[in-house]
Structure 1
Amino acid sequence: MENKILLTPENIQQVLASSDPEKLVLMTFFSAQEPNCIAQADILDALAQQYPNNIVVATVDCDQQQMLASQLAQQVGLQALPTLVVLKGGTPVDVLPGAKTQEEISKVLSAHLPSPELILLDQAKQALANGELNDAFALAKQAYGVAKDNPRVLLVFADICIQIQKVEEAEALLASVPAEAQDAYFTNLKSKLEQAKEAQESPELKRLMAEAKASPDDLSILCQLAQAQVDAGKKADALESLISVLRKDMNFGDAKKGYLDIIASLPEGDEIAARYRRKLYSLLY
């Protein structure tokens, strides 16, 4: 279901009788003849974008759906336009008659929406489902910043870290999960973490590391090692291998492109990306 809907006699039961206990339906009575309705519609559009997984804005167009609007108005005791009715699990929990500011509406919503960290986690999981791994990491990191002691935050953040091959971070997060919260999800993540750690110690990676140690001036081996390190999720190690190449020959093969590609693949604000970006700049300038 989209989170902005025009109510009609055909869809009203489905929309208003939402059984999702964590999702709010904001039923708004609207008329294009009323400037306050237009202003509040813009506010509701902004809120719909802010909480895409947690609210549905359901508009009753009093000009186009007069019969439906009249029936609903009688049920809620409509006295002014606009009027906003907040429903949770299909039951009205708040009525806001007249024009309201975004701050006033947000204050009412905060009493019924999940906690900020759970909203961020929902957004992170949606980004993950869309394949937007770095966005998922950034959102989960925000949730962790809000509630470091929430076991659910720890588990989801660890899950995302494993998927983007931040193994050390995932290990630290799982180590901080309290015993009473170590459920089946936790056990599954521990198993995934062990598999990820094993992948980081592949025979091919060990062979290339030995060759690079034996022939430190062979830049082609260092580049091969860097690629194997990327494949194993060791992006910081890969960047260190490539910066060793660039210190000796800035134009060697695709070393600089590979270096920049690794940095670009890291989440925005990642400390590793910042550190190795500075190292490259020091070589260039």
Structure 2
Amino acid sequence: MSNIVSINAQNFQQVLGETSQQKLVLLNFYSAQSPECINQAAILDKLAAEYNDYIVVANLDCDAEQALASQLAQQVGLQTLPTLVLLKDSAPVDVLSGAQAEAKIREALAKHLPAQQDLLLEQAKQALLKSDLNAAFNYAKQAYEIDNSNARIKLVLADICIQIHKVDEAQALINTIDVQEQDAYFNNIKAKCEAALEAKDSPEIKEKQQQVEKYPNNLELKEELSILLNEAGRKEEALDVLFTVLQKDLNFNEAKPSFLAIIASLPDGDALAAKYRRKLYSILY
């Protein structure tokens, strides 16, 4: 169900009553004839998408629903359009009269919604449930950038880092958790991290590295080593080995598709991805 609704005589009691018991309702008095109202509606649409689980935007067209608008206007002391009324538990908790900048509306929302880092952390958890590791990482990282002292945020981010093979970053986060905050979840993430660190330097990798050192011109051995390194989460080393293969033979076996696949597996905006894309372009063009 969309969290943007049009208010009318049939549904206003449910939305302003029942719905406001569950979510913060933004009752938007507006006129479709007013440019200021149209501009503010676009801001509300954006916020509705961003805070989908926490708010409902209830639009009341004062031209189309004049009787209802007049009735509700008396209750809130409406003087101008647009006017935004925030309702929680069936009662107004804030009124913004006149056209508002996005920052002002966000400021009002912040008084009645969970903190931004908590919202981002919840979004990270939801993305994890959907196995969308890229989105989960970005949400958790944003939450960490807002509050880098929150142990729960650090542990969720560490958990995600382990799953996307950023084990060293996960270890660094785990090392910052104070003793009094080391609960069962901490122990679970720590154990996962230790297992991932052990896998990074397996006997198979050491053996393959020795073979590559012995036969440095054997591109097939290098390709096999890159696979092992990537599986262990050592993505930069895997890319580096594959790049030496591509420098020798751009079309060798699956080297180029594997190289691109590793880059694609990195989170959006990852500096490592940008670095190795540039390196590949340097020999392609």
TM-score by length of 2: 0.82
Q: 1: distance between equivalents of 2:197 and 2:5? A: 47
Q: Give the partner amino acid of 2:38.
A: I
Q: CA offset at residue 167 of structure 1?
A: 0.9
> Structure 2: where are the runs of 5+ without partners?
none
Instruction: Determine if the alignment matches structure 1 residue 17 to structure 2 residue 21.
Output: yes
What is the CA-CA distance between 1:151 and the residue it aligns to? 2.0
Contact kept, 8 Å, 1:31 with 1:63, in 2: the verdict is yes
Distance in 2 separating the partners of 1:131 and 1:257: 23
Q: 1: CA distance between counterparts of 2:33 and 2:280?
A: 60
Deviation at 1:200, TM superposition (A): 3.4
User: What secondary structure is seen at the aligned counterpart in 2 of 1:32?
Assistant: coil
User: CA deviation digits over 1:97-118, x for unaligned, max 9?
Assistant: 3333333323322333433333
Q: Do the aligned residues in 2 keep the contact of 1:48 with 1:57 (CA within 8 Å)? A: yes
- Taking structure 1 as reference, are residues 72 and 180 closer, same or farther at Cα in structure 2, changes over 3 Å only? farther
Partner of 1:188, secondary structure, is: helix
Aligned equivalents of 1:281 and 1:223: distance in 2? 20
Give 1:222 deviation, angstroms. 1.5
**Does the C-alpha gap of structure 1 residues 235 and 67 become closer, same or farther in structure 2, counting only changes over 3 Å?**
same
Give the secondary structure class of the aligned counterpart of 1:120: helix
Q: Report the CA distance shift for 1:216/1:166 in structure 2 as closer, same or farther (over 3 A).
A: same
Q: Deviations over 1:192-232 (max 9, x none)?
A: 22333344345544543443344332211221221222222
Q: CA RMSD in A?
A: 2.9
Label 1:45 to 1:202 Cα distance change in 2 as closer, same or farther (>3 A): same
Q: Which runs of 5+ in 1 are unaligned?
A: none
Alignment TM-score, normalising by the size of structure 1 = 0.82
Contact 1:148–1:154, Cα closer than 8 Å, also in 2: yes
Report if the CA contact (8 A) 1:24-1:56 is conserved: yes
Partner Cα separation in structure 1 for residue 128 and residue 217 of structure 2: 41
In structure 2, relative to structure 1, the CA distance for the partners of 1:179 and 1:49 (3 Å cut) is same
Partner amino acid, structure 1, of 2:3? N
1-structure distance, mates of 2:201, 2:75 = 66
Tell whether 2:211 aligns with 1:211: yes
The one-letter code of the counterpart of 1:125 is K
Residues 1:122 and 2:126 aligned together: no
CA contact (8 A) 1:25 1:56 kept: yes
Q: 1:69 to 1:173 in 2, by over 3 A?
A: same
Does residue 250 of the first structure (1) align with residue 250 of the second (2)? yes
8 A Cα contact 2:18 2:90, kept in partner: no
Q: How far apart are 1:90 and its partner, in Å? A: 4.9
Q: How many residues align?
A: 281
- The equivalences for 1:1-285 within 5 A come to 2-7=2-7, 9-10=10-11, 11-12=14-15, 13-18=17-22, 24-63=24-63, 69=69, 72-88=72-88, 90-202=90-202, 204-284=204-284
Deviation at 1:170, TM superposition (A): 0.6
Contact 1:118 1:143 in 2 (8 A): yes
Shift of 1:281: 4.3
Q: Which secondary structure state, in structure 1, belongs to the residue aligned with residue 262 of structure 2? A: helix
Distance 1:204 1:45 in 2: 54
Equivalents in 2 of 1:91, 1:214: separation in Å? 76
Question: Structure 1 residues 48 and 251 mapped into 2: Cα distance closer, same or farther (>3 Å)?
Answer: same
SS in 2 for 1:99: coil
Deviation at 1:175, TM superposition (A): 0.8
Deviating more after overlay: 252-261 vs 134-143: 134-143
